[in-house]
Amino acid sequence: MMHALLTLVLLVGACSSSQTESVQVTDEPTAKPGNALPGKVLIVYLSRTNNTKALAEIIHKHVGGTLVALDLSTPYPANYQATVQQVARENETGFLPPLKTKIDSIQTYERVFVGFPTWGMQLPPPMKSFLRQYDFSGKTIIPFNSNGGYGIGSTFDTVKQLCPNSNVLEGFTIRGGSERDGQLLVIQGDKAKEAETTIVTWLRKINVLK
Which pLDDT belongs to residue 28?
A: 31
CA gap 198, 103 in Å, rounded = 29
**2-205 sits in which CATH class?**
alpha beta
Burial pattern 51-70, b for ≥16 Cβ within 10 A else e, equals bbbbbbbbbbebbbbbbbbb
List pLDDT tens digits, range 111-132. 999 999 999 999 999 999 999 9
Q: Which helix (H) or strand (E) covers residue 67, if one does?
A: strand 66-69
3-class DSSP state of 124: coil
Q: Where are the domains of the chain?
A: 2-205
CA gap 9, 22 in Å, rounded = 31
Low-confidence ranges of the chain (pLDDT < 70): 1-39, 177-184, 210
Query: Residue 118 phi/psi, 5° resolution?
Result: -90, 120
Which pLDDT belongs to residue 8?
A: 38
Which pLDDT belongs to residue 185?
A: 83
Which pLDDT belongs to residue 35?
A: 42
Which pLDDT belongs to residue 30?
A: 30
**pTM of full prediction above 0.85:** no
CA gap 63, 101 in Å, rounded = 22
Alpha carbon separation from 184 to 32, 152, 178, 187, 189 (Å, rounded)? 25, 18, 6, 9, 14
